[in-house]
Chain A
Amino acid sequence: MIVGDRKDFKEILEKLGSLRRVLVLGCNECVTVCGVGGEREVGVLAAELRLYWKKEGEAFDIREHTLERQCDYEYIDQVRGFVNDYDVILSMACGAGVQYVAETYKTKLVLPAVNTTFLGVTIEQGVWSERCQGCGACILDMTGGVCPIARCAKSLLNGPCGGSSEGKCEIDKEIDCAWQLIVDRLKESGQMERYEEILPVKDWRTSREGGPRKRVREDLRL
């Protein structure tokens, strides 16, 4: 899933400036699962804004609404009927959602309330960890199902480096060395011969270096 962090309240207030008619817009997908932008978090942010502006003696109009997704037009369109009642849409979706809402309502000011951080997994309730960088050319078959692009600090294709110590990365003793994980996993799954293969220089054109990416499936188009 896409994981994010709620922006600081102070930053959100600064971005809102003098605008007081606010549509706080949540998303029921990834940001709900990682506890940052779902219905509950929309409620918390809206409550914070109301408490702050009440304290300041200011008039305001806040509406809470959470869409099934903010990355699909069909759902974004559901707020069309009342979106113009508000000065600003405060989106609690990931960056993709914020942008699609802004693209849909071209004349509306759309502000992000979330910092999108990574593609990851739920380690346990309340703990998420990065797993993928969307490089566009998956090599997990070669690395025992552990991604060195996302999980090695240097994104080394042939590791580990000298900074690996007792299974941890030199940048932080809390961070596993991805290449230690890869070797362990290759051993466990009986694939150590994979480790002998030198991975070639990566063609980063499939990643962000190739520019913004777009995927088209003609067979799925209407």
Chain B
Amino acid sequence: MPCTGRVDALLILRTFESGVDGVYVAGCMEGECHFLRGNLRARRRVEYVKGLLEEVGLGRERVEMFNMSASQGQRFAECAREMTERIRSLGPSPVRK
């Protein structure tokens, strides 16, 4: 999507319904959103979804928000590794069993 400002709770929940083990949202650096506040909105929404995932028993750790610029390939890889490790330690989504 063109901006993380499009991310909402329903989108993330439906992604979990499709059977994914985790979701991370990669937004632009805070303060550098082309649409001014898209990434800040996304962060709030991710926080909201964390609460929803906790409620349904999947756990808040399965979703995360990261910020990076388009030129930070290394940072992107670091976030991907961090999230992969986290999800690996949490195990498969209980929804998939």
- Residue from A40, A43, A52, A57 within 8 A of B56 (CB atoms): A52
With an 8 Å Cβ cutoff, the count of chain A residues facing the other chain is 14
Instruction: Assess the A9–B13 pair: CB atoms within 8 A.
Output: no
With an 8 Å Cβ cutoff, the count of chain B residues facing the other chain is 15
Q: Is the interface of B mostly helix, strand, loop or mixed?
A: helix
Q: Is the interface of A mostly helix, strand, loop or mixed?
A: helix
- Residue from A47, A52, A55, A57 within 8 A of B10 (CB atoms): A47
Which A residues between 1 and 43 are near B, CB-CB below 8 angstroms? 8-10, 40, 43
- A69 contacts partner chain B, Cβ-Cβ < 8 Å: no
- A203 contacts partner chain B, Cβ-Cβ < 8 Å: no
- Minimum Cβ distance to chain B for residue A117 (Å): 19
- Residue from B9, B16, B97 within 8 A of A51 (CB atoms): B16
Instruction: Assess the B58–A51 pair: CB atoms within 8 A.
Output: yes
- A50 contacts partner chain B, Cβ-Cβ < 8 Å: yes
- Residues on the A chain within 8 Å of B55, using CB: 8-10, 48
- A208 contacts partner chain B, Cβ-Cβ < 8 Å: no
- Chain B positions within 8 Å of A, measured between CB atoms, are 8-10, 13-14, 16-17, 52, 55-58, 94-95, 97
